[in-house]
Amino acid sequence: MNLTNIAVIESIVEQHAEEAAFLWLLRDAAVQAPHYSLNDLADIDERVEAHIDGLRVAGEAGWSFCADALAQEEPGEVFAAAVLAFESGQDQRIKMVLEAAATDPVLSLGLISALGWLRFDQVKEHIDQLLRSLTPELRRIGIAASAVHRQDPGSTLVDALNDENTFLKARAIRAAGELGRIDLLHMLKNQLAAEDKECQFWAGWSAVLLGDRDEALEFLKTLATSESPFLESALNLTLRVMDNTSAQNWLKEMSQQPDWLRYTVIGAGVTGDPVRIPWLIEHMEVPELARVAGEAFTMITGVDIAYEDLEGEWPKGFEAGPTESPEDEDVEMDSDEDLPWPDAQLIAEWWAKNKAAFRNGTRYLLGQPISPEHLHKVLRIGFQRQRAAAALELAIFQPGQPLFEVRAPGFRQKQILGLK
């Protein structure tokens, strides 16, 4: 083989490594996006797998490019290297990946994702070794990987609930809820008094998901109306388990406070009660709230604003997200950029024609009263945020059942849901 051919092959292998890492970043955003369906996620995952397969075929050359890319300290590069390392079973490769990423919270996301990407029978032995490790960071990765596969890590999970390492403890507390470990409810409630705020939140979240409607629910309600980084997650679960009358009264109180309007709009979609739709339509006239109000409307009614030609125009003079001005210090991304812009007038006309099909006081998700049968349908046909809502509702219906993992590889989710 001449040098030209070698250079061409190396460039192809390098491209496989770069694309696998880039596409992982794309799918990491997609799993939480409002406009990605399960089919869309599966399509991305097929592309990821195709590039990973290219690296597999390249053998040592494929691994070499991935190993060198670890120096970039990016989670996508960690993902690609970790898939090859754990799949190979070669201790040196695995050690290199763990040393590069295990102690970094951001980089370890790619590492955990790789363990979740591969079939459980491929990684079970590696996960067991992580769970037996004396290093808390490695046990955390083992617990997280077990949780992604919805496989119970056993006694390691129980031990981790009282570990001194708060990072490990927080992941174990979260895993207990994801896995449906009702038997650990008492231990979880004890963690509501933990000093670490992340441990506190996941203790409340898991305890409520597992059926607690007293102390843990009150704790989450407090978080949902505080300046907490877990505010939206707390609100998202709290409103689903409250009785509807109490939830509506709570939203009414929140709506009186301008600083909480955005969360009240989101909460209206969470409760699913069409009594809030006229109020949502009013707030579609407010540029800062219009798109999220449209999403809440869709959550309740199931109407696809873009598909049904109910979109409006971007308001003149309104800016969201970073601008091109060097003097603008606001670099926060537009959190609603993937949502359609609703036309309030067109949606009001649609509602006038269709509101008779909805009953105030009944909770809806995508146009149908919430029921286990409908929630399973949403898992099959909904967009990612809608699917995440359905997964939570199902877990609330059946405390003790594992929370459906809507972030798992699309091809695996399809198998679980009986889809082609």
Q: Looking at residue 294, what is its pLDDT?
A: 98
Task: Please state the rounded mean pLDDT for residues 324-344.
Answer: 77
- Tens of pLDDT, residue by residue over 78-101, are 999 999 999 999 999 999 999 999
Over 60: is that where the pLDDT of 270 sits? yes
Whole-number pLDDT of residue 319: 85
pLDDT over 70, % of the chain: 95
pLDDT at 325: 53
Give tens-digit pLDDT for 228-246. 899 999 999 999 999 999 9
The yes-or-no verdict on residue 326 having pLDDT over 90 is: no
pLDDT of residue 112: 98
Residue-wise pLDDT tens digits, 1-29: 443 444 448 889 999 999 999 999 999 99
134 to each of 110, 163, 173, how far by Cα in Å?
22, 12, 19
Q: Which residue has the higher pLDDT, 11 or 204?
A: 204
Tally: H helices and E strands in the chain: 22, 2
Rounded CA separation 172/164 (Å) = 12
pTM reported for the whole predicted model: 0.93
Q: Report whether 88 contacts 80 (CB < 8 A).
A: no
Q: How far apart are CA 291 and CA 304, in angstroms?
A: 12
Matching residue, tokens 């390249």 = 58
Q: Tokens 């909770």 belong to which residue?
A: 363
Neighbours of 42 (CB within 10 A): 17
User: What's the average model confidence in pLDDT over 149-169?
Assistant: 96
What is the structure's pLDDT at 230?
95
- Poorest-confidence range of 193-202, 211-220, 284-293, 316-325? 316-325
**pLDDT per residue as tens digits for the range 41-58:** 999 999 999 999 999 999
Name the pLDDT band for 66 (thresholds 50, 70, 90). Answer: very high
pLDDT band at 332 (very low <50, low <70, confident <90, very high): confident
Where are the extended beta strands (E) located within 311-388?
A: 364-365, 368-369
Residue 309: pLDDT above 80?
A: yes
Report the amino acid identity of residue 357: A
Distance CA 222, CA 281 (A): 28
What does pLDDT average to over the chain?
94
pLDDT of residue 321: 62
> 378-395: per-residue pLDDT in tens?
999 999 999 999 999 999
pLDDT at 374 over 50: yes
| Span 307-314, average pLDDT | 94
For residues 236 and 209, the answer to whether their CB atoms sit within 8 Å is no
Spatial neighbors of 34 by CB under 8 A, at least 6 apart, are 295, 338, 339, 383, 384, 385
* pLDDT in the model for residue 318: 85
